[in-house]
Structure 1
């Protein structure tokens, strides 16, 4: 049951593919909290996914668009303001894709054309989105723009590949554009650095199962789920966070502050059991 945190607010949710998507959960929670929204994803994702079902369920207009296209983004904001009856109060950027990851190209053997595609889809689209919105004056004063990030933007994570570069750029864009948008229009811009989460996109990351288990053992509160992230996004869209901007907000159960946990150390020690001698001493190879 909602608390009307977003009552009377209008929003655009980019990136909902299916019910495993964080954006899907955010859309559901935003409407539950009283918002009216539109949904947007690429025409291909709309055909392949089940976003139409979400749009019908939430009574939300679905606007197919390529977020790397300025023209398409202009249509999304124009149609959204028309359908929703006014300027936008919040926007979620939940967009990320790496052809190098999909093609299993390692970080030291990247295809550079594919790297440019990764950066355009996963980060530069965020800049385009805000630049279009600002030029169209499409977002209300103290509106909130949120993009989903991951701690691989600051720390090396095995298998995350060139998506780490994209997330670093994404967070930099949030700070740089956040300053300008805040100064000129009172619009706040933040990123949320989410726990590893089981999504269709996340499943393509090498070693995802191990990463999920490791972060669960390391985090004192455990991994934050997609539903948990949706709750956090709702708070960031609400008037309760009117003075929060240009921040990368860590939402990972405490993982980012840990060096070693008891549970992770226990598992680490168990892995050596078969390599101990008769006196219990570890035999190093």
Structure 2
């Protein structure tokens, strides 16, 4: 059930690939709440994914773009504004990829060319999107920009690798640009630190099933789902959060505030039990 939280608003959503994507869920919720949206991803991702199905379902325009390419971004934003008939009111950055993770290169054996790609795709692209929007004056006053991040930006998680560095940079960009864009246009910029989620990208992280089990045991409310993340994101796009900016907002069932839970301790103690030899 929708509440018309985004009635009359226009949005740009990066990163939807298929119905497992958080960006996909956000697009569905934004449409449900009355927004008109533009969807974008790389040309390759559009060919391999199901973005056209989402566009049909949400009456959205699809414009291919590489978020690391300034010319692509300028074309996307200009054509996007034409498609929806004005400036954007909200933008979602849901982009992340590490060649080092994909190639199973450890953090102490990084390929530095891969690292540059990780940072450019997963973090610097966020800066490029915001900077291009600012130069084109593409976001209405009191608009909202949100990027998805993860607690590995603050805490070391086994084999999250150079994506942790990218997420830390992403959050820093939100703070730095949040000040600049907030003072000049009252535009708010935040990041959402989501629970580990079994998206297509998340599935590529080694041991994601064990990580999700651990965080489920650690979190008082359990892991947040992609649908629940979409609900939370919509509130940040709405006028209900007009004075929330430059924040990294944890949406993880309480995981980020925990040290040890009873459920996790029980599982930990089981690892010391002697095996049954019968």
TM-score class normalised by the smaller sequence? over 0.9
Answering whether residue 265 of structure 2 is matched by residue 265 of structure 1, we say yes
Structure 2 residue 31 is the aligned partner of structure 1 residue 58: no
User: Are 1:228 and 2:233 matched, yes or no?
Assistant: no
Shift >2 Å, 4+ stretches: none
Bigger CA radius of gyration: 1
Is 2:34 the partner of 1:49? no
Q: Gapped runs of 5+ residues in structure 2?
A: none
SS in 1 for 2:274: helix
What does residue range 23-172 of structure 1 map to in structure 2 within 5 Å? 23-172=23-172
Q: TM-score, normalization: structure 2?
A: 0.98
3-state DSSP of counterpart to 1:13: strand
Specify the alignment match of 1:238 in structure 2. 238
Structure 1 residue matching 2:63: 3-state secondary structure: strand
Q: Report what 1:210 is aligned to.
A: 210
CA distance in 1, matches of 2:80, 2:240: 24
Pairs aligned (count):
277
Deviation at 1:272, TM superposition (A): 1.8
Deviation of 1:275 after TM superposition, in Å, equals 5.9
Q: TM-score, normalised by structure 1?
A: 0.96
CA distance in 1, matches of 2:268, 2:275: 12
CA shift at 1:271, angstroms? 1.9
Distance 1:49 1:158 in 2: 29
Q: Which moved more, 1:134-143 or 1:262-271?
A: 262-271
Q: Note the 1:3-42 alignment, pairs <5 A.
A: 3-42=3-42
- CA distance in 2 between counterparts of 1:248 and 1:3 reads 25
What residue is the counterpart of 2:274 in the other structure? Answer: 274
Question: Could you tell me how far apart the structure 2 residues matched to 1:157 and 1:19 are?
Answer: 27
